[in-house]
Chain A
């Protein structure tokens, strides 16, 4: 049962009206959860994690562990003047930040978060998630092209080049999982990972990340490039092209872009959790008392932590090196992975 049905059932409204109200309320709930996560990640967790990696303390004055900084930071960012540069391509420039957040949030519609929080479960769920996540590239190009700034323009071009190079390996690797699960539906993919593999005396969960670690690593790497984090933060590259596509944005628009990036990282995390880490399932049966939603949050925050770790540890590669890694390395490996998986899946039952 999906979230809208649960809500309409609780409210006791049947029919189309119930579905619509349930869907709206469910979407609002999921949007709020993810924005709250991003709000925690952007102004607070990111700083604390980076500080831990670089031997610093970071924010600690307001509230426990400096958590109280989130609110003043939000007020500060939102109360800044919105500077609209002369010569920007107005509708595109305004729409780009909105698309950014929108595309990332939309992807969560098909993610099963456990504890019954699952907005929709279409039979092409995985394809839908990949499709809406890629809309973000459109917003990067719009932002870069409409800003009428050369740095933004370079950033936008880099974003396209990068997304082209990494989206294909990302999806191909995702497809190898589909071969295992035999379905594109998210709930099916999660269900396919619920068994326990007996590895001698110990049983491990049949998560696809453990069944096919090669695909898991490929997907992780492609995902880092997809969300534009070190060592692949080429579209922003502060020491090279100032801030890339977001150079000219300030105030609310900047917040939207920034927030969009974090939601995007979480969407990447959610996809990894769903197709490689058993979705909301607990790693061992004994821990199933903890609600699935908590496990889901732990997993997406784990991926977030991973991206922050990379950011603090790895140098940024150069644009030509990035493209080379994408086309010559990742693409080949992901195709090889897909074929191998197909062969194994085809041979194993017989």
Chain B
């Protein structure tokens, strides 16, 4: 019997205190690393464009970087650059960026799709918006813009003023050739969406059916693309960007999204946010999470029941209550615009006691209501029959597709940035990360339901803290210069736990008051990619259920 602590299982390049030893990692890769850069969040290894797959495969297999969080592409005056932001599911603070420069005249880089499935869509987006081509990519098509689009809008040489002229014949029937199936085939091609009762917005699923079973599904997105990245690149850090995040995941997750930008920009400009403001942020963000999850559960029930039933109505009624709280706090019901760099827009509404009482009532009310939802949904046998063991997403697939948020947690992946990469006031509070090993549609709904309980606990503790806060120390805003001009060539990638998962933002500054590159890592975008895994071989109704359980918001998918 040994009393010795077992040696923790360390990946190569990992220090016992949870930090990374980049020298050891570089040693692991040997001469593949041709240079090193220092980003604000991590060290970046520069590698040659024809060695991407080898490098990433080594990092994934040997150093444990199993989470390709995001792929950022950008164009410099003299080169193109793809950045793979790598993390670990077991500890997302262990970050590493892999920078792949490609020459301006031939931007061809090796694809990472063979290593991370999630790179597929990210690289398609990079090709679509920036114009980098990826060698060996299985399906390098445009993803957000129409296939007839001319040029790459985020490239430096793109002429925004030039009208997009598409001859009528190219648009006569844009889906015709894609709907052709071989003559002797027994399958049927169906366009599900963009106008369909179950697609939660303008999603278009190009589906091949064998009878009622899904043989192949290819989500076609971009119908709601509003150039959010470009708009942010044309806005100033200090004030103009903050309203945009509200419009990404617009299903009342506004403050969660704003926090993603606030966290990134604050870390970039070294702004220290007052503790009091962090508590306010934590409380309001969790209110948003409850509102978002309520709608997710309500619409999921709608997809299964096929009708507006009591569950949907109850969910919307309860969401109304939390929206009223948010309205009292921020003055808005949907586009909150409540956070500011270095703090929040304003303090709690007066009289404070009245507001605290309302919030407390709501926090006590949520667990009662959850009993009702469990009675209506999770303990309903017909409901179980429909959603259990359908839409299976195995944990390994979920990791490879970069799934995060409730989708990952329902596949048994214990990953929550609020705990694993703490920000705000979360690490001072007592709450749990909900996970479930079911991997099916049922688990995903269950995780969301239970997360509401935890969110209510967080809010309650925040109220306790706020109540006891000394009156003369209620500082809601740090000193932030009127114009923010971060050092040129500062690069940072930071993420927060939004309602749908990891919402990350990459910013590169060029010394002006506007970002040179602003990239959004949307959780719904990554989660939606895994629909293929869940749906193939299932029946159409199960695909619809899987889509509902993913809880995508097209505003966030398409940005």
Contact = CB atoms under 8 A, between A and B. Distances in A.
Interface of A: 50, 53-56, 150-151, 154, 230-231, 233, 237-242, 311-321
A54 B541 contact: no
Contact of A316 (B304, B380, B540): B304
Contacts of B78: none
Nearest to A241: B540
A162 to B, nearest CB: 13
A239 B188 contact: no
A313 B309 contact: yes
Nearest to B188: A150
A312 B382 contact: no
Q: Which 6 A-B residue pairs are closest in the complex by CB-CB distance?
A: A239-B198, A54-B313, A316-B306, A315-B305, A315-B304, A54-B310
B198 A150 contact: no
Interface string B300-311: 011111111110
B306 A317 contact: no
B432 to A, nearest CB: 29
Most B C-beta atoms less than 10 A away, residue of A55, A317, A318, A319? A318
B314 interface: yes
B302 to A, nearest CB: 7
Given A154-B212, A237-B541, A241-B540, A317 B385 contact: yes
Given A242-B196, A317-B385, A321-B385, A312 B310 contact: yes
A253 B121 CA distance: 44
A316 B541 contact: yes
Nearest to A318: B541
A240 B314 contact: no
B244 interface: no
Interface in B501-538: none
Interface string B301-336: 111111111101110010000000000000000000
B214 to A, nearest CB: 11
B317 A55 contact: yes
B544 interface: yes
A55 B383 CA distance: 21
Contacts of B212: 154, 319-320
Given A233-B306, A242-B197, A314 B382 contact: yes
B296 to A, nearest CB: 15
B484 to A, nearest CB: 46
Given A55-B314, A314-B305, A317-B385, 18 more contacts: A53-B310, A55-B310, A55-B313, A55-B317, A150-B190, A230-B306, A233-B306, A239-B197, A240-B306, A242-B196, A242-B197, A313-B309, A315-B386, A316-B306, A316-B386, A318-B541, A319-B541, A321-B386
Contacts, number: 80
A319 to B, nearest CB: 6
A319 B309 contact: no
Contact of B306 (A53, A54, A150, A238): A238
A131 to B, nearest CB: 29
Nearest to B198: A239
Contacts of B310: 53-55, 312-313
26 contacts: A50-B307, A54-B308, A55-B310, A55-B317, A150-B188, A154-B212, A230-B305, A238-B197, A238-B198, A238-B306, A239-B197, A239-B198, A239-B306, A239-B544, A240-B198, A240-B306, A242-B196, A312-B307, A312-B309, A315-B304, A315-B383, A316-B304, A316-B305, A316-B306, A317-B386, A320-B539
Contacts of B540: 154, 240-241
B292 to A, nearest CB: 21
Nearest to A153: B188
Contacts of A321: 385-386
Contacts of B544: 239-240
A56 B305 contact: no
B542 interface: yes
A311 B307 contact: yes
B385 A56 contact: no
B536 to A, nearest CB: 16
Contact of B303 (A239, A311, A319): A239
A317 B197 contact: no
B531 to A, nearest CB: 15
Nearest to B313: A54
A237 B302 CA distance: 12
A125 B542 CA distance: 42
A233 B539 CA distance: 16
A144 to B, nearest CB: 14
B173 to A, nearest CB: 13
A312 B542 CA distance: 20
A338 B131 CA distance: 71
A242 B541 CA distance: 12
